Structure 1
Amino acid sequence: MSWSQLLFSFDGRIGRAPYWYFVLAVTVVFAVLFAFAGVSLFSGVGLDGVPDPAPSAGVAGVLLPLACIALLWPSLAIAAKRWHDVDKSAWWILIGLVPLVGGLVALVFNGFIAGTPGANRFGNPPPASVVP
């Protein structure tokens, strides 16, 4: 599976390892952006003791929404393929919208439950290591 198929196609199946690699990569990206936003927003203190936004605060305010938009489609594609691996429709992505338990259900199914052994209605199982 190529990078473009992995990140932009909703067809096929992936195992738990590529899912966790993607989650780790997204976590690192957002941790860096939030760290940059935190440092840039509160880097100076005014005479009255109130933090003054640094000139780069606007950059962080633009980068965070852009990162969210840029990672939306790949996140949905990865999640859809992971749901396919446990023989569920990609519509199960919407379970994350259920308050309190939806995210936990998605985490358990996508992150911890092994995929269907053998072929299922979404195709053949992914190879043991499918990270391009």
Structure 2
Amino acid sequence: MDWYLEPLEKYAVFTGRARRKEYWTFVLCNTLLAFVLAFIDGLMGTYNAEIGIGVLGSIFALAVLIPSFAVGVRRLHDSGKSGFLMLIVFVPVIGAIALLILMVLDSEPGENKHGPNPKA
């Protein structure tokens, strides 16, 4: 649970480094919560099929937007990359694949310009 709460505690911290475990746990929990909220939206009748999201899902997406971006930037910092590479996702198809590969890369050993290795 700590791996999910840590990015929320560092709500808008775009400096430092985040381990793969922290990033992927946050992504997994957000995905699971989004599915649960979509199911609840469907039961309550607040799901809009045209848009593809319901009221609860929209509120949740807005609530985790900044923490998701922040932990993504810190994850890129951990592998020694610039946080601006998050913007590569806007390149159709190839951008999402490239960002996925960057998020899977291992940490840069030791200290880098973004701070000490969080594994230590």
TM-score normalized by structure 2?
0.81
Structure 2 gaps, min length 5? 48-52
**1:88 Cα deviation from its structure 2 partner:** 1.2
**1:80 Cα deviation from its structure 2 partner:** 0.5
Verify: 1:30 aligned to 2:34, yes or no. yes
Structure 1 gaps, min length 5? 41-55
Aligned partner of 1:8 among 12, 19, 24: 12
Aligned partner of 1:19 among 19, 23, 36: 23
Deviation by residue 1:61-120 (Cα, 9 ceiling, x = unmatched): 32111111101011001101001011111111101111011111111111x210111111
**Equivalent position amino acid for 1:27 in 2:** T
For this pair of structures, how many residues does the alignment match?
109
Aligned partner of 1:94 among 63, 87, 90: 87
After the TM superposition, which residues 34-113 of structure 1 pair with which residues of structure 2 at under 5 Å, given as runs?
34-38=38-42, 40=43, 56-58=44-46, 61-110=54-103, 112-113=104-105
Q: What CA distance in whole angstroms lies between the structure 1 residues aligned with 2:29 and 2:46? A: 24
- Identity, in percent, stands at 35
- RMSD over equivalenced CA pairs, Å: 1.8
**Equivalent position amino acid for 1:57 in 2:** G
Do 2:41 and 2:55's aligned partners in 1 also have CA atoms closer than 8 Å? no
Larger RCO (alpha carbons 8 Å, 6+ apart): 1
**1:37 Cα deviation from its structure 2 partner:** 2.9
Q: Which runs of 4+ in 1 moved over 4 A?
A: none
**1:8 Cα deviation from its structure 2 partner:** 2.9
In structure 2, the partner of 1:120 is 112
